Amino acid sequence: MCYILYTLHVCNHWVPQPQPGHGPSKERLLRICEESEAMRLGNPCPTTEHRVSSRSQGMCDSCLWKKVSK
Ligand SMILES: [Zn+2]
Ligand SMILES: [Zn+2]
């Protein structure tokens, strides 16, 4: 199944991690799995798995901005 990797921050927000490369940001977030690559000629699966790949000890950017702008 194709998946999107997230960083889980202490504020409980999941922030997607773009992979390096070209194309629109939505395409850069989605990791195409091997089955999709082989069976669907590069088209992603109809369902996407959401995975936490790392945890951050800090808050996400939007929470940091909210804190700064207060
Ligand atoms: Zn897939
Ligand atoms: Zn947050």
pLDDT (0 to 100) of residue 50: 97
Chain segment 19-48, per-residue pLDDT in tens:
887 677 667 899 999 999 898 777 899 999
Show me where the domains of the chain are located.
2-69
Both tokens assigned to 22: 């070209």
Report, as an integer, the average pLDDT of 13-20: 91
Q: Which ligand sits nearest to residue 62's alpha carbon? A: 2
pLDDT of residue 9: 98
Percent over 70 (pLDDT), the chain: 94
Neighbours of ion ligand 2 (CB under 5 A): 11, 13, 60, 63
* 11 within 8 A of 56, measured Cβ to Cβ: no
What separation in Å is there between the alpha carbon of 56 and the centre of ligand 1? 26
Query: Which pLDDT score, from 0 to 100, does residue 4 have?
Result: 95
Band of the pLDDT at 18, cuts 50, 70, 90? confident
12: left (phi over 0), alpha (psi -120 to 50) or beta: left
